[in-house]
Structures are given as C-alpha cells and as structure tokens.
Amino acid sequence: MAQLLSSQTAFAYWQRVRAAVPLTLCLTNNVVTNWTANVLLAAHASPAMLDDESESEVLASVASALLINVGTLNAMHAQAMLKATASARRSGKPWVLDPVAAGLLPFRTTLCHRLLGDAPTVIRGNPSEILALAGEAAQSRGADSAHDSDEALPAAKHLATEAKTVVVVTGATDYITDGERTLRVDNGHPLLQRVTGTGCALSALVAAYVSTAVDKKEVMEAAASACAVFAVAGEMAAEKALDRNEGPGSFAVYLLDALAVLDGVALERRMRS
Amino acid sequence: MAQLLSSQTAFAYWQRVRAAVPLTLCLTNNVVTNWTANVLLAAHASPAMLDDESESEVLASVASALLINVGTLNAMHAQAMLKATASARRSGKPWVLDPVAAGLLPFRTTLCHRLLGDAPTVIRGNPSEILALAGEAAQSRGADSAHDSDEALPAAKHLATEAKTVVVVTGATDYITDGERTLRVDNGHPLLQRVTGTGCALSALVAAYVSTAVDKKEVMEAAASACAVFAVAGEMAAEKALDRNEGPGSFAVYLLDALAVLDGVALERRMRS
Amino acid sequence: MAQLLSSQTAFAYWQRVRAAVPLTLCLTNNVVTNWTANVLLAAHASPAMLDDESESEVLASVASALLINVGTLNAMHAQAMLKATASARRSGKPWVLDPVAAGLLPFRTTLCHRLLGDAPTVIRGNPSEILALAGEAAQSRGADSAHDSDEALPAAKHLATEAKTVVVVTGATDYITDGERTLRVDNGHPLLQRVTGTGCALSALVAAYVSTAVDKKEVMEAAASACAVFAVAGEMAAEKALDRNEGPGSFAVYLLDALAVLDGVALERRMRS
C-alpha cells in the first residue's frame, strides 16, 4: 500500500527549501530552460544552467543539487551531463534524472542507462518513461505517456530496487518509491498537461527539495513534497483560470504565482488526508 | 482572384485536428521552442522536439507531421533537418518549411533550396522570405518583412508552381496558393507583430492541420484553416487585452487561452464572408 | 558623486528608440532568448538572433547594435561572438557585453577578457560580475550577485577606465560610469529578481538604446535611460501584480505590458528627482 504524504511533512520540506534557497543546476532540454528557471525562482529556489562540459564540474560543485533532463539531447549536452553527474557523485551531491522520451529514442535511452552508473538520487518520469527504463515494453507519444501511473508502479519499484534509487512516477496520482516503501500524492489538475514542460519543471523542483534531505527516507519525503507543492499550486492556478474562463496561457502564469504564494495553509487545505 | 476561406471549412479542419491531436515534430529555432510547444498544446495538437540528427528518423516516422524552421540555424540542426525531411519524404509524411530570414542569410537560403528537394508539403513565410525564395529581390529586416503580402503573391504563385508545393504568405491578408488556385484569410491583428515567434508558431500549426489532409486541395484548405484559427484567436486575444488596457505580454497569454477555447461559433462570427 | 538621471533625459532617449526601432542583434544564452526578444519588441525595438558564426558578420553589419551575453556559453557561440564583435568593431557599431557569471566560470571569464579587445561600448553586469571582471575577489551564486551595487562602484570605475568603456552595474541603485562621470538610477522593484533573465533583457535594451547615441556622453545617457525605462516598467508591473495579490508569473507579463505603454508621463511621475 502506498502511504499518502501528509500536508505537515510537505510543509516541513517547503520550509527547508524556503530557508535554504537551494542553488539548483539544471542541464535540461532547450524547450523548457526559461520555464524551469522561472518555476524554481517562483518556488524559492535558485536556478543555474549551462551548455558546455567545461563548466559542468565547477557548477556542479557549487550547486546544492543537480537536474539532468535528456529531452532534445545532443552530443555536447551528453558530455556535459556525464561530467556533471560524475562530479555530483564524487562530491556526494544529490541529483535527479528526468528520462524524457526514454524507450522511444535510443540515444536518450542509452545515455540514461549510462547515467544510472552515477547513482541518481531520484529518477522522475512519466509512466511510459519509467516502464521503458525498467526494461518493460511501453508506448509513448513524444513527451506524453500512453500509460497510467498505477500501471507503472510495479516497474517503478523494480527500477528503484535495481538502481538503488528513489523513483517518482507522476500522473493522476504521483508515486514515490524506493522499492520497499511507497508514498503517494493525489493532488494536481488536468490543465498541467496543457502546458509544455510541467513534468520537466517538477523534476527540477524535486532536485531543489532533495537537496534538503539527509537520508533515503528524507529523500523520499522531500521528493514527494516537491510533487505535492507543484500539484497544489496547479490546483490553485486551475481554479483561478477556470473561474475566469481562461485557458492554458493564463494557467501557466498563475502556476508561477501560486508557487510563490503557496504556504502551509494552502497545503493543509488542499492535500487529501 | 483569391477565394476567401469559409468559416465552415475552417471549422471542419479544426474538428479534424481536435479529434486527431496530431503529434507534430518541430525542428525549430531556439527562440521559439517553448512558445511553439505551448501554441500546439493550446490548439489541441501535441508537440515533439529534438536537436540531434540521430533522433530525426525515429521521431519523423512516429510523428503525424513535421515542421522545419531555419531560424538560428546551426550545422547540427541543418543535419538533423536534412535527415528528418528525407525520412518524411520516404514515408509520405507531410512537412512544412518556414524559411526564416531566407534571402538575407546565405546559410539559411542555401539550406532552404536543398530542402526543397525533399518536396515540402507547404512553405509558410513572410513576404520578404517568399520573395527571396522565389528568386526575387527582397528586403528584410531580421525576422520582419519589408513587404506586403499582396506584393509577394505573384512570387508565391511562381514558387508554388516551380516547387510543386503550396505556399502560404502571411501578412494583413494571408494567401494560400498552389500556383493555380489561391485562398485567402482576412483576419488577424497588429498585436501579433509585437510578440516574437507568432509566424513560427503558425507554421507549426499549419503542419498539425496539414496532417489531416488527404490531397492537394485539402492541403490548401487545411493550411488556410490553420491561418484562420490563429488569426481569429489573435483577434480574440487582442480584444481582451485592449479592453483591459494591457499590452503584448497579456496578449500572448490570451492568445494561448483563445486557441484553447476557440470553436465553430467564434470562427463563424469573426471570419469575413 | 553619482548624478541622478533626469526623467527628461530618459524620455528623450525613449523617443529616439521609438522613432528608430533599432534592430538589435542578440547572441545570448539559451535560457532567455524568447524573453529577450519579447522585451525588445515590447520596448519598441526589433530583435534578431543567431547561433552560427557564419551568420555573425552579415547580421552584425545590418543591425543597429549588438548584444553579447555569455550565459550558457558553448564553443559554437564563442566563435560566433568573436566574429560578431570583430565585425561590430570594424564597422563602428555599438555593442554591449553582459558577462554572466564571469569570475565563477573560467570559460566565460576568459572569453570576456578576449572580447574586451573588441572594445565594447558598454559592459552591463551585476556587482559580482563587475567585481570579477575588474580583477577583484567577488562571490557569486550562479547568476545572482552576492554584493551590492554600491560595493562594486569603485571596481566599475576602474574597469571603465582600464577598458575605455562605459560600465553599468545594476542593483537596488543602477550606476552608469565611464570612470570619471557617474550617472545613477534609483528606480526598480525586488520582484525583478524573481523572474529569470531580467538582467539579460536589460542588457539587450541597453544595446538598443545605445544605438541612438553619437558620443560617449550620449552612450552614458542612453544606457542610463534604458535602465530607467526598465526599472520604471518594473515598478508599474509590480504595483499591478501586488494590487491583485499576484506573483512573479503575472509580474513578468505586466512588465512586457508596461514596457509597451510606458511614456514620458510615467517616467516623470516615477523617477526620483
């Protein structure tokens, strides 16, 4: 049974991030750089980005956490990513892998498997990506998943056990598992699917949150808290946009607003318990 | 005489796109990736993007349509584009060429002429770009045109005939021609010029729409319908922004909202007939 | 003593930009391309962007001004930048250097020092970046400064004298100095720190404004006017966002709106005098 994350726990990690303003180094795809940086800034974290492998080690060493997102992968980025994760591993920095379109695209799948050697702290993906990374047959459609998160939970547990990591598989319900224990978050809103890069930005937020964790239990709670904060902000933004008969453009703007104003009261009111 | 596209035709293609949610692979410039993806998502299509030639064939083969936009071109993208259009040609997938700043910049002009060998389904450009691609003297100013779409219509017809394709030249009036027949769309709003990448995003939407066409007549109608949907959404967004004394920032947000809520009633009310 | 820029002077340069709509070529980092282009368009300038060195000379020769921003630097961009600044120097075009994260990252620091050989018209940075470029010990945290602009003013004067250029160091107060005379702008709002790329976009606006200057005194005034226009727009946007209990997402949208509607009355009302 997956255990529901409590709003108290989510609020505790929200407070840690707010106090630390973690510098989060993102090596991410070129569709979502601006959006990811703005999500991190709105959520009281601090983004840093780079393109060139020569900067990977320095930045990874000063950052509090690292995000590797393999969307729109190219050879230059692959090199920079490998250097950054090696640096993170050496210095014990937490890092998050977002395996965008793994399974569908061999270049990305191969790199993801290589990156697993540097022991990601968390892998955050949609059901298709997690199924594919776990070696199971999956269908994907570009960046979208053709599967439900429930369907992918067994694969997520298997992957977490094999790779000795925490796997976050997001969907209508988000599951966070280390293979033995599983947390879940039941918030969110379908409008999150109508804005590009919401999953990518969540992975960056997971990295920021995980930088405040001190052991595997806390990594799971921190990752789940990032999912909860993002999902609750999504609900707040959707409520405002729908109240005003607006659509995905306004929703994306309100999502940033909500990440900035969200607090313990909002988490308590909206998280199922 | 150019024939005005009817709102019934535009609505018919809007319904096809809404039903199919076409996966639209975009190889586009690094200024507009996020914006283009959000326009496609708002307009009920599904975006996919890539950087590296190794992914061109796989993604082009699973996509419903392909967009090639040569803005901020570099050597890596040029290779990926050539592989993607070759793949599209082999598999009979429709693809759209957006020749950003062709004429002014030799690297882009040369690549565009090479890409013509892979038989684009549609070429969508501003008047300067279409004049340049047709071999006529044109003036451009970065991504902006120094010419009117009326001025470029003869060149558009010539280019369509020579390249056996459909040419869309956009401006105050949008013209869609195969060299013999010409459709036109008279909607739109000047605020569309105050947001970067509106032309680029329209080209992506043309690709999504053209994926639902089965012959050249339908390609023309589908391309014209994409122009109409985008222009009507622009009018809706401008009306709201101006009502509230807002400017291009709010307009861009409302454009995404309008693309999401626009329906047959809005098309019928706003399209000239 | 730094002299406060008058609203009359700021308005005079605003009028020049509005009349000229300067084509501003930006070689900038991949986080802020879209945002920078939209800021320039909102502020009545015209953006152009490129990736490949083969296009540097042509575009630099037709542009009114050039921006070089070394964020997310890679080898391809470094080559394109060196060609562009050499072309700008040969043709006497004004150009602005934004040394993002110089000091922290050796690749960027080295390139900045090389670019100084092509005599930038203006260097615009945060306090940490200006301290680092002036050869002083500075602390930075990704793209954020760990110092105040007051602290960096002596270094800014030193750098301006050594490099025979104008240095703009931005913060709560913006200073614009050629080493002898110093102008200052006291407007702005803390919400500008919660949106990524506001400094980067300001550097592009400085380039657009400086294109209307005919001598060093005017370069200083034009650069200061760009700072004033951006800071006043920031105040207008923050006022609206805070009035409505909104956050950084809405603020960024309103900043574009404010840049578009801002006029001499707004400058006069809000600039300290």
- The full set of domain ranges for chain A reads 3-270
Q: In whole angstroms, what is the distance from residue A100 CA to residue A30 CA?
A: 12
pLDDT band at B136 (very low <50, low <70, confident <90, very high): confident
Report the range of poorest mean pLDDT among B62-76, C52-66, C142-156. C142-156
Length of chain C: 273
Is pLDDT above 90 for C273?
A: no
- Give C120 to chain B, closest Cα distance, Å: 22
Q: Decide if C142 and A48 are in contact by the 8 Å CB cutoff.
A: yes
ipTM of predicted complex: 0.96
pLDDT in the model for residue B208: 98
3 state SS of B24 = strand
pLDDT band at B147 (very low <50, low <70, confident <90, very high): confident
Q: In whole angstroms, what is the distance from residue C34 CA to residue B124 CA?
A: 21
Q: Residue B139: closest CA among chain C residues belongs to which residue?
A: C62
pLDDT in the model for residue C90: 94
- Give B128 to chain A, closest Cα distance, Å: 28
Q: In whole angstroms, what is the distance from residue A27 CA to residue B178 CA?
A: 44
Interface of A with C (CB under 8 A): 23, 25, 30, 33-34, 37-38, 41-42, 46-52, 54-55, 58-59, 62-63, 76, 252-261
Show residues of chain A in contact with B32, CB under 8 Å. none
Beta-strand pair B174-177/B182-185: antiparallel
pLDDT in the model for residue A142: 62
Is pLDDT above 80 for C272?
A: no
Show residues of chain A in contact with C144, CB under 8 Å. 46
Instruction: Using alpha carbons, select from B237, B267, B211, B215 the residue that is nearest to residue B46.
Output: B211
Task: Output Rg (C-alpha) for chain A, integer angstroms.
Answer: 17
Note the Cα C35 to chain centre separation in Å: 14
Show residues of chain A in contact with B196, CB under 8 Å. none
Query: Which residues have CB under 8 Å from B255's CB, separation 6+?
Result: A249, B39, B192, B195, B198, B233, B234, B237
Secondary-structure percent of chain B, ordered helix, strand, coil, rounded to 5: 55, 15, 30
Both tokens assigned to B230: 């985008």
Q: Decide if C38 and B246 are in contact by the 8 Å CB cutoff.
A: no
Q: Residue B70: closest CA among chain C residues belongs to which residue?
A: C50
Is pLDDT above 70 for C143?
A: no
B-C Cβ pairs (cutoff 8 Å, strict): 101
Q: In whole angstroms, what is the distance from residue C10 CA to residue C94 CA?
A: 19
What is the average pLDDT across A251-266? 98
Report the residue from C29, C34, C248 with minimal CB separation from A260: C248
Residue that has been written with the tokens 């703005």 in this structure: A38
Contact B27, B81 (CB under 8 A): yes
Is pLDDT above 70 for B139?
A: no
What is the average pLDDT across C146-156? 91
Percent of chain B with pLDDT over 70: 97
Neighboring chains of B (3 or more beta-carbon pairs < 8 A): A, C
Cα separations (Å) of C241 from C99, C192, C248?
A: 30, 12, 8
Contact B130, B159 (CB under 8 A): yes
Q: In whole angstroms, what is the distance from residue B213 CA to residue B65 CA?
A: 11
Interface of C with A (CB under 8 A): 29-35, 71-75, 77, 101, 104-108, 141-144, 193-197, 245-250, 252-253
- Give C155 to chain A, closest Cα distance, Å: 25
Contact A65, A93 (CB under 8 A): yes
Show residues of chain A in contact with B52, CB under 8 Å. 72-75, 107
Report the residue from A34, A47, A52 with minimal CB separation from C107: A52
Q: Which amino acid is at C223?
A: A
Q: Decide if B34 and A29 are in contact by the 8 Å CB cutoff.
A: no
Is pLDDT above 90 for C142?
A: no
Question: Quick one: C245 exposed, middle or buried, by C-beta within 10 A (0-12, 13-18, 19+)?
Answer: exposed
pLDDT band at B87 (very low <50, low <70, confident <90, very high): very high
Instruction: Using alpha carbons, select from C202, C183, C184, C255 the residue that is nearest to residue C24.
Output: C202
Q: What integer best gives the mean pLDDT of chain A?
A: 95
pLDDT band at A155 (very low <50, low <70, confident <90, very high): very high
- Give C155 to chain B, closest Cα distance, Å: 34
pLDDT in the model for residue C140: 64
Residue that has been written with the tokens 């400094």 in this structure: C199
pLDDT in the model for residue C136: 82
A-C Cβ pairs (cutoff 8 Å, strict): 101
Is pLDDT above 80 for B143?
A: no
What is the average pLDDT across B75-94? 95
Q: Residue A144: closest CA among chain B residues belongs to which residue?
A: B46
What is the average pLDDT across A65-84? 96
Is pLDDT above 80 for A145?
A: no
What are A89-135's pLDDT values in tens digits?
Answer: 999 999 999 999 999 999 999 999 999 999 999 999 999 999 999 99
Q: In whole angstroms, what is the distance from residue C213 CA to residue C13 CA?
A: 9
pLDDT in the model for residue B234: 98
Q: What integer best gives the mean pLDDT of chain B?
A: 95
What is the average pLDDT across A16-41? 98
Beta-strand pair C144-145/C174-177: unpaired
Residue that has been written with the tokens 């082009």 in this structure: B60
Is pLDDT above 80 for C138?
A: no
CB neighbourhood size of A78 (10 A): 20
Q: What integer best gives the mean pLDDT of chain C?
A: 95
What are C165-211's pLDDT values in tens digits?
Answer: 999 999 999 999 999 999 999 999 999 999 999 999 999 999 999 99
Report the residue from B73, B104, B194 with minimal CB separation from C58: B104
Beta-strand pair B166-169/B174-177: antiparallel
Q: In whole angstroms, what is the distance from residue C210 CA to residue C202 CA?
A: 12
| H/E stretch holding A163 | none
Q: In whole angstroms, what is the distance from residue A3 CA to residue A224 CA?
A: 11
Q: Decide if B142 and C59 are in contact by the 8 Å CB cutoff.
A: yes
Neighboring chains of C (3 or more beta-carbon pairs < 8 A): A, B
3 state SS of C180 = coil
What are B89-124's pLDDT values in tens digits?
Answer: 999 999 999 999 999 899 999 999 999 999 999 999
β-pair partners for A167: A123, A177
Is pLDDT above 90 for C141?
A: no
pLDDT in the model for residue C35: 98
Q: In whole angstroms, what is the distance from residue B196 CA to residue C186 CA?
A: 30
Q: What is the CATH number of domain C3-270?
A: 3.40.1190.20
Percent of chain C with pLDDT over 70: 97
Is pLDDT above 70 for B17?
A: yes
Percent of chain A with pLDDT over 90: 92
CB neighbourhood size of C19 (10 A): 10
Report the range of poorest mean pLDDT among A13-22, A60-69, B104-113, C135-144. C135-144
Neighboring chains of A (3 or more beta-carbon pairs < 8 A): B, C
A-B Cβ pairs (cutoff 8 Å, strict): 101
- DSSP letters spanning B212-231: T--SHHHHHHHHHHHHHHHH
What are B49-59's pLDDT values in tens digits?
Answer: 999 999 999 99
Q: In whole angstroms, what is the distance from residue C259 CA to residue C254 CA?
A: 8
Report the range of poorest mean pLDDT among A15-19, B104-108, B180-184. B104-108
Interface of A with B (CB under 8 A): 29-35, 71-75, 77, 101, 104-108, 141-144, 193-197, 245-250, 252-253
Answer left, alpha or beta for residue A199, where phi above 0 means left and psi between -120 and 50 means alpha.
Answer: alpha
Cα separations (Å) of C189 from A252, B114, C43, C221?
A: 23, 50, 18, 21
Contact A56, A50 (CB under 8 A): yes
Show residues of chain B in contact with A71, CB under 8 Å. 49
